[in-house]
Structure formats: C-alpha cells, structure tokens
Amino acid sequence: MDKLIFHVDVNSAFLSWTAVKMLKEEPGSIDLRTIPSAIGGDVSKRHGVITACSIPAKKQGVRTGEPVMRSLEKCPSLRLFPSDFKTYREYSAKFIDILKKYALAVEQVSIDEAYLDMTGTDEPITKAEKIKEEIYESLGFTVNIGISTIKLLAKMASDFEKPYKVHTLFPEEIKEKMWTLPIEKLHGCGYKTSEKLKNIGVKTIGDAAKLDKALLCSLLGEKSGEYIYESANGRGSDVVSGEREAAKSYSNETTLPTDIRVSTYDKEMPPVIHWLSESVGKRLTKDEAAGYTISVIAKTSSFKRRSKQTTLVEPTNDIKDIESISLILMRELCFGERGLFNENDGIRLVGVGVSNLAENECKQLDIFSYMKEKSAQDEIRLNESKKKEKTDKLDTMLKKINEKYGEGKIKKGG
C-alpha cells in the first residue's frame, strides 16, 4: 500500500492566533487578517522586525524578516502587535490535538505545521477538507493542506495557492504542477543554490530534474547536488515519526529583505538579533533547557557564510544574556579583524544559536538562587569550623589536665 501523507500548515500563524484571541476577547472588533497588520518588534517604539503579516499588508509590500520601520514606510497605516508566545503555544497545542484525531502518526515540525500519516484513507481530499473545516470552526483560524506520498511533495503542495486551500502533488502530477515552478520554489533550495543553478541556465525545477546528477554534485557539492536532483525528481522520505528527538541545539535564522550594511548596522542589526534571541530563549525555557555555547552566523550578499561563538562558564536560557552576547559576537564578526564589512559586503542572512546543552539534571541557577545556596553552604562550613575549633580547644585542655594529674583521670563528658 502506498503511503499517504498530509502536510498541514497554519496560514500566517502568529497573526492569525493574535486575531482570533482579540475577536474572542472583543466580539465585534475588526479582524486583523482583513486589514494591513503585522506582528513584530516593540510596538511602542516601533522598532524590531516583522515576524508575520496579513495578506492586505503583503499586497502593500510588507515582508516578514524586514525592519518594522521599513514596513511602516511602505504601509503607514500598518497596525502593529507584539509577539505573544503564550497564546501561540496554546493554539498550537489545540491545533495538534485536532490533527491527532485523524492520523496514524503526527510529526510536528514547528509550532504551526505538521505531517500526518494518513495511509489507507479513502477520499483523501474529502478528509483534508474535513480537517481544515474542523480547525476553522473549532479554533477560528485557517490552514493549508498538501497531500502526497512523500513529505517533500506534501510540503510543496501545501505552499501552493493560499489561504485555506487543499492541494495534491502526487508523483504523476510532478511534471505539470512542480516542474514548471521557478527553481527557488523547490523546498530546501536556498538563495545561494538557486543563483548557482540559474547561472548555468537552470530556471525551473524541471530543468534541475533533467540535469545529470554528477553535474549537479560537481557544481553544488555531493550532498547538495544529490538533494536537488532527488527532490526535483520527486523523491524523498515517507516516514512520519510521531516522536521528536531531544534537541541537541536551539537556533533560528532569518533571510533579510535587503542587505544590512555598515551605514545601517546600528539601526537594523539590533532588532533582528533581539527577535532571534527571543525566539531561541523562549524555546529553551519551554523545554527547560539551557546551553553553554552561544553562536551567531551571517551570510553575505556574495554568499560567504561565517560564524562566531563563545562558551560560558554557566549554561543559560536567559533572553537578555543570549541577546547581549550575540550582539557582541555579531559586531566582532562584522567589524573585527577580517570582519565581513572589511570586504565591503552586505549581510543578507542572520542567525543566533545556543548549543552544548547542559544535562537535564544540571538545572541552571539564577543569581539569587546561587547566592542563597552559596550562603547556606558557607554557613554550614562556618558552623563546622567553629565546632572543630571548640573540639580542638577541649582536646588541648584535657591533654594538659591529664599530663598534670595523670592519664585518664578526666575524660570528655566526665
């Protein structure tokens, strides 16, 4: 029996969940999804980066990952709202609970998307419609669902026309539905890879599928070349795992809509680092994890990818710690000796990560807990020292008495 896999993706998740919460708290208020609106940054100070935006905002040029001020220049009427991770986690959990009612296995791959093993399902399109309608009727937000026999194609299908749609991309549909798409639309094909392929005349996914595999590997490297060849030809994993492995590291990165350069660094880099640090720190805290190593990465407009990291004495998951250290590392990466800006490059992608995780039993102490514990230990040591000093004095006194009056005449407690 062929596998049947659904990929379910929440449409503009952060914005949708904020909109649903507001409509629930203020019935009759305006639906944020119907007006130019966005999530991200410090609303009062109007800085930071956009993490989600409505379709009306997108039509006015607003894009995720760009600075808030740039979005406001494009769309002065843009309504901004802060991130609300507590609400996001609540709606994500309810979303996954509904999916588990329908599937043999549910593999959650991010807060707003999951793969479902629906093998053996009759009339999959009808079932997908039922799932998306239940989510909308029960929770108030929309999803897209992609259907195929492997995860890659299901993911590709769910990215077709949005919002609130069901699409299929079965092997027999690849030529018509996938091969005609621009090469950059292939899931997993980044900007750098797509540019290399375009330089040799590969404009569409179909062009890549028809190339010799060895040629792709020689151009992109063995691993990337093989991935592009296999993916373009519609081959990939069909395993949907219901369990997630414990994370070995936590990271987040974003591709910027325009390059950050020397002249814009102080204005545009801090809000990006803040958003990335907040994302990583909140995930660490949610999983009760902490790490010793903090790292940053940057990719330039000329495709150089550099990183810098530092290892702490104590593990951390504190957002302020991650942010302040990341800002120092990024400044060194850009302005230090052999820094990226010394080569007159712009920064196109920025990332923040925490790794070298502490063992679960080694919970991080905050400074107050540390001082409290240290004070208690010092007090114990002081009491033990005083007790020993008192005992030593008594022993010395008894020794002198016994030497004067005869051994064994007086004993402790006698």
67 falls within a domain: yes
Q: Of 356, 111, 107, 108, which is closest to residue 248 (Cα–Cα)?
A: 356
pLDDT at 401: 61
Are residue 127 and residue 264 in the same domain, yes or no? no
pLDDT of residue 151: 96
| Same domain? 299 vs 197 | no
Does residue 363 belong to any structural domain of this protein?
no
Q: In what order do the strands lie in the sheet with 105-110?
A: 105-110, 113-117, 5-10, 143-148, 166-168
Q: Is the residue at 92 inside a domain?
A: yes
Asked, for residue 128, whether it belongs to a domain, the answer is yes
Given 149, 168, 187, the domain boundary residue is 168
Is the same domain home to 258 and 396?
no
pLDDT in tens, 360-413: 433 333 434 434 444 555 555 556 566 666 666 666 666 666 665 555 444 444
Q: State both tokens at 140.
A: 């108030």
The predicted structure's pLDDT at residue 404: 58
User: Is 42 labelled as part of a ligand binding site?
Assistant: no
Domain carrying residue 192: 179-232
Residues of the chain with pLDDT under 50: 360-374, 408-414
Query: Which residues have a catalytic role annotated?
Result: 113
pLDDT of 49:
84
Same structural domain, 388 and 343: no
DSSP letter for 247, please: P
Strand spans (E) along 111-179: 113-117, 143-148, 166-168
The per-residue pLDDT for 300 is 85
Q: Tell me how many domains the chain contains.
A: 4
Assigned domain for 237 exists: no
pLDDT of residue 104: 77
Sign of CA pseudo-dihedral 183, 195, 197, 297:
negative
The pLDDT assigned to 44 comes to: 67
* Assigned domain for 106 exists: yes
CATH of the domain at 309: 3.30.1490.100
147 falls within a domain? yes
pLDDT at residue 411, as a whole number: 46
Does 94 reside within a domain? yes
Same-domain check for residues 82 and 191: no
Q: Is the pTM of this model over 0.85?
A: no
Q: Are residues 50 and 108 in the same domain?
A: yes
Q: Please tell me whether 2 is known to bind a ligand.
A: no
Closest CA to 142 of 7, 8, 10: 10
d(CA 167, CA 158): 6
| Span 95-135, pLDDT tens digits | 999 999 898 799 998 889 999 999 988 899 999 999 999 99
Residues 200 and 276 in one domain: no
Can you give the CATH number for the domain in which 193 is found?
Answer: 1.10.150.20
